[in-house]
Amino acid sequence: MRVRGVTAGLSPPGVLFALLGLAAIFTPFLTLAANRIVAGEGRALWSVAAPQVTGPGIALMLLGLALGLPAARPYLRIAGAALGLAGLVWLLIAGASFLLTEAGEYARVSPAAGFWFLLVVFALMMADALSALSPGPAARAGILGLVIALVAALLWSGALSDLSIAQEFASRKDAFYTASLRHLGLAFGSLLAAAVIGLPLGVMCHRNAALRGALLPVLSFLQTIPSLAMFGIMIPVLSWLSGIIPGARAIGIAGIGFAPAFLALTLYSLLPVVANVLAGLRSAPASALEAARGMGMTWRQRLARVELPLGLPVVLAGLRIVLVQNIGLAVIAGLIGGGGYGTFVFQGLNQTAGDLILLGALPTVALALVSAIAMDILVELTTPRTEREE
């Protein structure tokens, strides 16, 4: 790792994080509700448990905010963010258990605005410090793996089982695993389909100006259609196909369900894939292409040995855009029976159950973040070292 351009004194982002963190401490930290549907009562950070419990947690967070202030100490800011997150989790676990002790049988405890603000503050502090250190791809992959392992261990330990969202998960465990597989199938399956279709189209557009001029406006038009409208358009189209093609319904082609959502996501994905393949192939230096021609390479050999390898980072950047986009759009599939995490989001909206909404929203956000970081690492690994160091 190398530290990029740090100066002595206070870190401006660190000062901002400290001010935001101090403000967040005075907002409700947990919400106690009589049941899963009614609005709860916000509890301040210092009142969620006994003083001997809240004291150490608050002290850890204040220390973490203080350690984030020095500009020339990114490792110190990482330690501060880690201490702050540890105090945050400690208060979340202890507070949920304490508030439920004398509450009714159906009482629920949920994180309130203060918790989410503090979580974002410490996460951004960690990200700012890592940006200053500028870790390489291997180090970033290791950090990502460590964070995933720590979060998985926390969830697996059952320490958060008193929270309302954990109780929502416990009552829908099998449905959650099914929704997870369906969401992954929609997001990654449509990415694969778009890559299989879009890569050859991008190559053909690179070589054929007429095709490029005709195809790109059509793909751009598809991007302008709102996602819900696109899903709606797929319903009558696939209903018609399932009626005229023997056996179509038996293999899952129907007006509602997985098929229309998958097809809509694939259509949305084509423009970023085709455009980035085209941009990647165009990024090959003219000198490299002239050298390849001088060696007697055919256009297919130039494509396979020069243009595609040099344009691979741009192509992968397009796939990254598609993947993150589709992870988010797959939530809408819940409205047409496509499954995925959107099922819980829309069920929660119908029942005014906020924690059921979070059961679908939080894994969607986490999956999008992890996928984006993993794809960024892959893009950097395929970028020539000289370009990375510029």
Q: How confident is the model over 25-50, as pLDDT tens digits? A: 999 999 988 887 777 788 998 888 88
Neighbours of 210 (CB within 10 A): 8
According to CATH, where is 1.10.3720.10 located in the chain?
173-388
pLDDT > 70: what percent of the chain? Answer: 93
Is 199 or 134 the better-scoring residue by pLDDT? 199
Looking at the predicted structure, is the pLDDT value of residue 370 above 70?
A: yes
The tokens of 377 are what? 């690492």
Residue 332 CA: distances (Å) to CA of 181, 188, 313: 16, 16, 30
Mean pLDDT value across residues 61-87: 92
The closest of 87, 121, 126 to 373, measured between CA atoms, is: 126
CA 330 to chain centre: 12
Mean pLDDT value across residues 294-322: 87
CATH class of 173-388: mainly alpha
Residue 40 CA: distances (Å) to CA of 33, 105, 166, 250: 4, 15, 17, 47
| Whole-angstrom distance, CA of residue 203 vs CA of residue 281 | 8
Q: What is the pLDDT of residue 309?
A: 86
What's 383's DSSP letter? S
The tokens of 75 are what? 């490792």
| Whole-angstrom distance, CA of residue 386 vs CA of residue 329 | 36
For residue 176, what are the contacts with CB-CB under 8 A and spacing of at least 6? Answer: 169, 344, 359
Looking at the predicted structure, is the pLDDT value of residue 6 above 50?
A: no
Mean pLDDT value across residues 315-329: 92
Q: How confident is the model over 113-169, as pLDDT tens digits? A: 999 999 999 999 999 999 888 888 899 999 999 999 999 999 999 899 999 999 999
